[in-house]
Amino acid sequence: MNISIRIVVFLFGVLFIIGTIRLLLVKKIGERYSVFWLVGCFVILVLSVVPSLVDRIAALIRISYPPTLILLLATLLLFWLCLYNSIHITLLKRRITELTQRKAVEDALSEDEKQVSR
Amino acid sequence: MPAYNEAENIGRVLDDVLSLRLSADIAVVNDGSEDATEAIAKSRGVKVITLPFNLGYGAALQTGFKYAAVRGYEYVVQFDSDGQHDVADLVKIISSLENGEADLIIGSRFVEGGSFKAGVFKRIVIKLMSALIKIITGAVITDPTSGFKGYQKQIYVYYSKYNNFPDDYPDADILVKMLKMGYKAKELPISVRQREHGKSMHSGLKPVVYLIQMLLSILIITIRNEKPKSKGEQE
């Protein structure tokens, strides 16, 4: 990896960290969800400073073309994140449905009570 | 009666239902309609439960179950508000529930005496679901996708609870589950008309999504293999 690409990757890593912290400050992302992005940014920073790390890990697990390792890891991590988000969306949808239904039923019941007391 | 944007149908359907003078309470679950569904239903003097936004057919139906569970009704009849069901069939379903003929009464378009002109794809889906139910539970259900059903208290109370009801389309999957749990289902013939106004919830690509989702749901229910529960346990 030549120096200019390393600098660009490093800057992207720094920008992502600043962006994530900014989102945390304005409460647009929770601490729990920001951990994934901060760890991801940290990995980008490390790889931009020590790119030979990829070659060494790739050699260790017998991957002949080291950049494939980055693509593989990124794909797996993003896939896992999508699944994690799908689980959370399902849970939130069910909770919102339950709350909405309870509210509608309670409104209907209080209307019934009003009609009885009239 | 779950209803979403049924302003063109709901008035006539309610008038027909009310003309039967049933000794039953009628409730419309207005599923966040953007038209005059709520106002028209209220004008007929029936109970209207309004969801603040559209949650979908299954959630609207479950809202009705929740209301019924609090009110403690002995049974509940699910009836579509799009004018496709014949109100005369309501009497048969209610009488069957009152006589305790089964835990679940299904209005079927395909048993002798029933009538409905279904498209080819719809017929294939229904046949496929029936065959699956037969293989998994041994029961013969000719119309597993019917939206005209009667539920005894123990069943609707169970489905009124959080996480006990399918997210989108409660159809063949809940039949499989109930039959596997040891409940008895019975089909009665009903007549179904083509809807005159409005858009069906099974238009466009939705039947394909429905089929995949239903097959998956049935598969999961079969794998889970929930043990039959005593009726007291479920209430």
For the cut 90, the answer to whether the pLDDT of residue B224 exceeds it is no
Number of H helices, E strands in chain B: 9, 7
Residue with tokens 């083509």: B194
Per-residue pLDDT reduced to its tens digit, B157-196: 999 999 888 877 778 888 999 999 999 999 999 988 766 6
- According to DSSP, residue B192 is labeled B
Q: Reading across the β-sheet that carries B149-152, which strands appear in turn?
A: B75-78, B149-152, B104-108, B185-189
The encoded tokens of residue B169 equal 């389309």
Dihedral sign from CA coordinates of B119, B122, B128, B130: negative
pLDDT at B121: 81
B195 vs A65, higher pLDDT: A65
Answer yes or no: do B62 and A107 touch at CB < 8 A. no
Mean pLDDT of the residues in chain B: 88
pLDDT band (50, 70, 90) for residue B16: very high
pLDDT band (50, 70, 90) for residue B201: low
How many domains does chain B contain in total? 1
B26, B156, B161, B162, best to mutate vs chain A, most A CBs in 10 Å = B162
Answer yes or no: do A100 and B51 touch at CB < 8 A. yes
What CATH number is associated with residue B18?
3.90.550.10
**Chain B residue nearest residue A108, CA to CA:** B49
For the cut 70, the answer to whether the pLDDT of residue B232 exceeds it is no
**Chain B environment of A105 (Cβ under 8 Å):** 49, 63, 66-67, 70
pLDDT band (50, 70, 90) for residue A106: very high
User: Once rounded to an integer, what is the mean pLDDT over residues B119-131?
Assistant: 85
Of residues A90, A93, A104, nearest to B63 (C-beta): A104
Answer yes or no: do B49 and A104 touch at CB < 8 A. yes
Per-residue pLDDT reduced to its tens digit, A40-54: 999 989 988 998 999
> Whole domain around residue B25: which residue ranges?
2-234
Of residues A94, A107, A109, nearest to B163 (C-beta): A94
Answer yes or no: do A98 and B162 touch at CB < 8 A. yes
User: Once rounded to an integer, what is the mean pLDDT over residues B194-221?
Assistant: 74
pLDDT at B234: 46
**Chain B environment of A94 (Cβ under 8 Å):** 162-163, 167
Contact indicator for B185, B104 with CB cutoff of 8 Å:
yes
Q: Report how far residue B5's alpha carbon sits from residue B220's, in angstroms, rounded to the nearest whole number.
A: 32
Contact indicator for B12, B84 with CB cutoff of 8 Å:
no
For the cut 50, the answer to whether the pLDDT of residue B235 exceeds it is no
Enumerate chain A positions whose Cβ falls within 8 A of a Cβ in B: 90, 93-94, 97-98, 100-105, 107-109, 112
User: Once rounded to an integer, what is the mean pLDDT over residues B137-148?
Assistant: 92
pLDDT at B228: 60
pLDDT at A115: 86
pLDDT at B163: 86
Per-residue pLDDT reduced to its tens digit, B66-108: 999 999 999 999 999 999 999 999 999 999 999 999 999 999 9
B157/A contact by beta carbon, under 8 A: no
Answer yes or no: do A94 and B167 touch at CB < 8 A. yes
Q: What three-state secondary structure class fits A17? A: helix
What is the reported pTM?
0.83
- As a 3-state breakdown, chain B gives helix, strand, coil percent values, each rounded to 5, of 45, 15, 40
pLDDT at B212: 86
Q: What count of Cα atoms within 13 Å lies in the side-chain half-sphere of residue B156?
A: 26
A98, A101, A103, A110, best to mutate vs chain B, most B CBs in 10 Å = A101
Of residues B27, B55, B163, nearest to A100 (C-beta): B55
Per-residue pLDDT reduced to its tens digit, B19-30: 999 989 999 999
Of residues B63, B162, B167, nearest to A105 (C-beta): B63
pLDDT at B197: 60
pLDDT at B186: 95
pLDDT at A17: 94
For the cut 90, the answer to whether the pLDDT of residue B155 exceeds it is yes
